[in-house]
Chains A and B, each alone.
Chain A
Amino acid sequence: MIPAAFAYHAPKSLTEATALLAKLGDGAKVLSGGQSLIPLMKLRLTSPPHVVDINGIQGLAYLKEADGFLRIGALTRESDLDESELIRTRYPLLHDTCKVIADPLVRNMATVGGNLAHGDPANDHPAAMLALGAQVVAVGGKGERRIPIASFFTGPFETALEPDEILTEIRVPVPPAGSGGAYVKMERKVGDFATAAVAAQVTLAASGVCESAGIGLTNVGLTPIQASRAEAALKGKRPDEAAIAEAARLAAEAAQPTDDLRGPAEYKKDLVRVLTTRALRRALERATARR
């Protein structure tokens, strides 16, 4: 499979890259890890006349805690998350997630920024970042702005990014003591998109009451879905099995799956209920261990 011809640009700085994007407009696609874009181009589902490769821009691959946030540079590869001691020990939800995205070879190229900016509701990081209440940093001709993840996904394969903007960083609030998260994905085989997947992040107060909860759903709608009513149902409650079951029921209600080769909508809705139960149980276990 051969992609359509395109002009290749490899800017060396963000300023150069955003200027290029401003000039080229809708005709340009940003190439990050390329593990979604290149397959789409090979299938000619997309044929951008211009490709702007941002991999040559220095300083966009990092993982660090600063100013109350975990800051993930947009070019951080999924395998970098997997190998990070910081992620493994302090961000179990992200660690779960980066282990089930595509396969190990794809994860060596695929970036966290690209996983979000692609706007695919079947990607795994969007639900994780919704559960974590992350922000996305975008840089464009007009400067830098922060976009709350809850308003980032505007439609299927559409995001709040302007045509001249580049996603440069993801900011995840550093979870307080008593926090834990988990990502549970049902996939038919390694490398497939999720039949459904659920991200859960909880914080427990010293009293054992659930102080906050974040729940994100993968591949059960036109965009990644935040199960807000399920989150609200847990807040201020002792997260016993009855509370988990109620949250799981509400999460299933929030899902809007369609029938496809991975299963009928009815099955996927019930799958969301089951996966939410499992994700919450695991998140709570981890939160309890960190109190």
Chain B
Amino acid sequence: MQVQLTINGEKHEADVEPRLLLVHLIRDVLRLTGTHIGCDTTHCGACTVLLEGRAVKSCTLFAVQASGKQLMTVEGLEQDGKLHPLQEGFMAEHGLQCGYCTPGMLMTSVAFLEKHPKPSEDDIRRAISGNLCRCTGYVNIVKAVQHAAAALQGGA
């Protein structure tokens, strides 16, 4: 089946089998490998992308379902060579060790901060509860999101 979708502002077209998962379209067909596959069982959130602005697990969606839709992947965060405040936050606060969960953490946090610009620590912990990290113990990830929230509030 023919699918047409916009990822990070760029139009893409592909001929896919209906059973192709969105994450495989993104990674294997379109070669946007920033989006990761962690568990492949809807648990870990490493494959999180934004579908029409909502953070979803791209391993639990068929590519055909995204036809005609706007998507954003981790590659879309950087603008004109400038990192997104969340990416800056993860660097400044050491919000990653192995980095495997990071693309998912970033995408979940982008959508979350859009809706909740002044979150409490508890809000952040709930928001990322569908994203698993096995390295950090989450403390620095929470700090990274707080860092970005403050930067975004400051008009950065």
Contact = CB atoms under 8 A, between A and B. Distances in A.
B156 interface: no
Interface in A85-104: 102-104
A38 B61 contact: yes
A103 B60 CA distance: 13
Given A39-B42, A53-B65, A191-B43, A105 B131 contact: yes
Contact of B42 (A51, A83, A106): A106
Nearest to A99: B126
Nearest to A55: B65
Nearest to A47: B19
Contacts of B56: 105, 108-109
A289 interface: no
Contact of B19 (A6, A79, A104, A109): A6
Contacts, number: 79
B129 interface: yes
A6 B19 CA distance: 7
Interface residues of B, number: 27
Contacts of A109: 54, 56-57, 60-61
A1 B41 contact: yes
A55 B18 CA distance: 15
A103 B19 contact: no
Interface of A: 1-8, 10, 31, 34-35, 38-39, 41-42, 51, 53, 55, 79, 83, 102-106, 108-109, 190-191
27 contacts: A1-B40, A2-B21, A3-B19, A5-B17, A5-B18, A6-B19, A7-B18, A35-B60, A38-B42, A42-B40, A53-B64, A53-B65, A79-B54, A103-B45, A103-B129, A104-B55, A104-B126, A105-B45, A105-B48, A105-B56, A105-B131, A106-B42, A106-B57, A106-B60, A109-B56, A190-B130, A191-B130
